[in-house]
Structure 1
Amino acid sequence: MGKLTSTLWLILCVFSHSVLANSQYNMRKGVTDISNNVYQLHMTIFIICCVIGVIVFAIMFWALIHHRKSKGAVPAQFHESTKVEILWTAIPFVILIAMAVPATKTLIAMEDASKADLTIKITGSQWKWHYEYMGEDVEFYSILSTPQDEIANLADKNPNYLLEVDKPLVLPINQKVRFLMTSDDVIHSWWVPDFAVKKDANPGFINETWTNINEEGTYRGQCAELCGKDHGFMPVVVVAKSEADFKTWLADAKQAKQKAALADAALLDKTLPKEELMTLGEQVYMANCAACHQPTGMGLPGVFPALKGSPIVLGDIKDHIDVVIHGRPGTAMQAFAKQLSIKQLAAVITYKRNAWGNDTGDVIQPSQIQTALDAKVEAN
């Protein structure tokens, strides 16, 4: 019996670490110390449970075979055994304590976001992520970039289908990064399996967690909390760079923001042609608006209003601009003032007012967007 148990233990250890470690059905080791600790805990507890199961079933079947009635076995007659009861209480207690101690240490470490080298605020909204590098004047939205043709089954799906974004979160390796999680609308959950990080983003609250990545690479995750119609279209992509490359990227991001501001300023004196605005507007609409209002502009009855024939779209231009840049509090209509450039805002509003048969002929210029933004600032 002892030899059988030892053999089974050896088989389980070899099988679990050599086969399951690389199996798509098993937990990932990940690329952080925490994720590796979680993986080791998972495998240790898995092996303990398997060994207990093997021993229990081995004893049970051995007893059934060797003490069956046909062999003349007579069942023992006894009322109770204090020693046995103490034994089968003490052994599980010791096993649970042995599992609880390392698990507790790991859980405590997972919640310790102190002494971070970098802090990033992550805000979830339907259905995108907003990343803000605190103290660095760098922020951006990260949106699904999977082509609509793939989603509509009109083209072959690429290997990263629904797990690709236009702007990934960029992080340095070998630095402790603190995340502050919140939401603009409903509950979301930021999840990257390779980091062993999964934290809810709740509206009106801030949760915190952290990571420290050991290896460069691209790591993918998803929103892990059902958050509405397009919950499955809200991926997380993180690019981990060396410390030197991250500093270069951060400097480039700051410079790009300055260039974008200068480009916006240069547009204020220009009159852009309708064709250019319509082309850009369609791209912006499909990336930012189609999830709710649909590519056809028909919306979803009772949920998201149609833009085709909409009184707002066909009505006063200033009111339309105000809705797009400032949103509608208490509704799913987000404010796009910080999400899009003034050229993109002008383009998407122009597109809405001239697509799907709306045909107002209106051409919105970046200067009109800037005027509306300035008016809001003065009003506040």
Structure 2
Amino acid sequence: MLKSSLGLRRALAGAAAVALTSVGGIAAAENVSGLPRQYNLTEPVTEIARQIYDLHTLMLIICLVIFIAVFGVMFYSIYAHRKSKGAKPASFHESIKVEVAWTVVPFFIVIGMALPATKVVVAMKDTSNADITIKATGYQWKWGYEYLAGEGEGISFLSALATPRDQIEDHKGQSKARSETYLVEVDNNVVVPVGKKIRVVTTANDVIHAWMIPAFGVKQDAIPGFVRDTWFKAEKPGIYRGQCAELCGKDHAYMPIVVEVKTEEEYSKWVQAKLTEMKVKQDDPTKEWTKEDLVARGEKVFNANCAACHQASGQGIPGAFPALVGAASVLGPQDGQIGILLNGKGAGMPAWKQLSDVEIASVISYTRNAWTNAGAGADPVVQPKAVTAARQ
């Protein structure tokens, strides 16, 4: 595998920057989000990402050589064999030499590009002997993570955009000052140890998503009903960001991925703290909750998981997501709404089995007591035990 030097990388990146600036007129130092412009690939922090970086550089060099050779010959021919000099057109009709040349030369070019590319692709697909396996499930529009094997097994959580909704909806940017991580920050980071091979198993709950971290050289589709996998081994601690790389719907732009790489000692401490936190937060589904507690809990669950589609006002989005205000499913018997949350409904409403019985019961109770729904329907309070029974 060709190992390009740092100087060559910087030179190519600088050349690209100059070309883009001169051709596109984008001489500003920052883009519209306030982040620095970047004209080259993200700095790699894994061996696979480094191989991709070097492969990209190799392909760029090959393309540049072909460009110079083809256009050099073309411009030379135009100049040296112009009509004003009395040049006569040559005939290459049925020329064996020409036929052989334009077949053999591209063949060797393709082989020269295919061999290193194949080596990198094969390495990218080798997910064997992983130290930790994490399942990443795409939802509209967040990620769910489950630590399936290795240190941390049993940990699971949802990871959603942490940027406040008022900042997103304020298109003029006149609200609170936006941070450097605007739209690429989440409430729960994926945490992994440095120097360990991490296998990521991807799938989706609704539509096609894609789990992508550029610094790791990872981009793997998450497809409903299918299981794909990829891997990475981070070489240094830090926080690395990515996004869903498939057009997955209305809030596709608000589905970031954040991986925090810790030292082995720090990771072990995080695992113990996370397991303890999960145990403390684990709710007893047999407990009888008060209406006030369920509604308060349900409002948080709704804002985190449902407001993106049904809106905070419960009015939904006409033609896309139905309103919950005055909806028969909300004002009718509880069994119907419980079934919808557990099993989904059509293509627009995914199943929410990943939520706990308490979370489902609380969000149902919230929708039945929020807005103008309060007092308008049956079963205003749904207890977690009803959800438990419906799962069986």
Fold shared by both chains (TM-score > 0.5)? yes
Please list every run of 5 or more consecutive structure 1 residues that lacks an aligned counterpart in the other structure. Answer: 1-10
Written as runs of structure 1 = structure 2, the 5 A alignment for 1:244-259 is 244-259=265-280
Give the match for residue 55 of structure 2: 41
Structure 1 residue aligned with 2:223, among 166, 177, 202? Answer: 202
Shift of 1:119: 0.8
Which residue of the other structure, out of 310, 313, 325, is the alignment partner of 1:296?
A: 313
Deviation at 1:112, TM superposition (A): 1.0
Q: Do 2:339 and 2:390's aligned partners in 1 also have CA atoms closer than 8 Å? A: no
Aligned to 1:180: 201
Greater mean alpha carbon deviation, residues 63-72 or residues 142-151: 63-72
2:183 counterpart SS class: coil
CA shift digits 1:12-45 (9 cap, x unpaired): 8873155559971332242111111111111111
Residue 303 (structure 2) pairs with residue 307 (structure 1): no
What TM-score results when the alignment is normalised by the length of structure 1? 0.83
C-alpha offsets along residues 278-332 of structure 1, whole Å, 9 cap, x if unaligned? Answer: 555433322211112112111123432211112333334x437624752435454
Q: Provide the rounded CA distance (Å) in 2 between the counterparts of 1:182 and 1:192.
A: 16
- Alignment-mate amino acid for residue 344 of structure 2: R
Q: Deviations for 1:235-268, whole angstroms, at most 9, x for unmatched residues?
A: 212111122211211111111111112xx34993
Q: Distance in 2 between matches of 1:56 and 1:12?
A: 23
SS at match of 2:66: helix
* CA RMSD, Structure 1 to Structure 2 (Å): 3.1
The one-letter code matched in structure 1 to 2:85 is K
Asked if residue 219 in structure 1 is aligned to residue 240 in structure 2, the reply is yes
Which amino acid in 2 is paired with 1:308?
A: V
Distance, in Å, in 2 between the alignment partners of 1:164 and 1:77 is 64
Pairwise CA distance, 1:355: 2.2
Which stretch shifts more, 34-43 or 65-74? 65-74
Gaps spanning 5+ residues in structure 2: where? 1-6, 18-35
The equivalent of 1:169 in structure 2 is 190
Q: Which has the larger displacement, 52-61 or 68-77? A: 68-77
For residue 73 of structure 1, the aligned residue among 83, 87, 91 is 87
Indicate the percent of aligned positions where both proteins have the same amino acid. 45
Deviations 1:172-224 (A, max 9, x none): 22111111111222222212222221111122111111111112221222222
More helix per residue: 1 or 2?
Answer: 1
Matched positions, count: 360
**Change in CA separation of 1:60 and 1:127 when aligned onto 2, cut-off 3 Å:** same
Q: Is 1:117 the counterpart of 2:117 in the alignment? A: no
Task: Tell whether the 8 Å contact from 2:141 to 2:255 is kept in structure 1 after alignment.
Answer: yes
**Bigger-Rg structure (1/2):** 1
Distance 1:281 1:372 in 2: 16
Moved more, 216-225 or 279-288: 279-288
Q: Which amino acid aligns with 1:184?
A: N
TM-score norm. by structure 2 comes to 0.81
CA deviation profile, 1:333-374 (whole Å, cap 9, x unmatched): 3444542572x5455334322322222299977xx6332244
Alpha carbons of structure 1 residues 89 and 14: separation in structure 2 relative to 1, 3 Å: farther
Classify 1:335/1:101 alpha carbon distance in 2 versus 1 (closer, same or farther; 3 Å). Answer: closer
Aligned to 1:322: 338
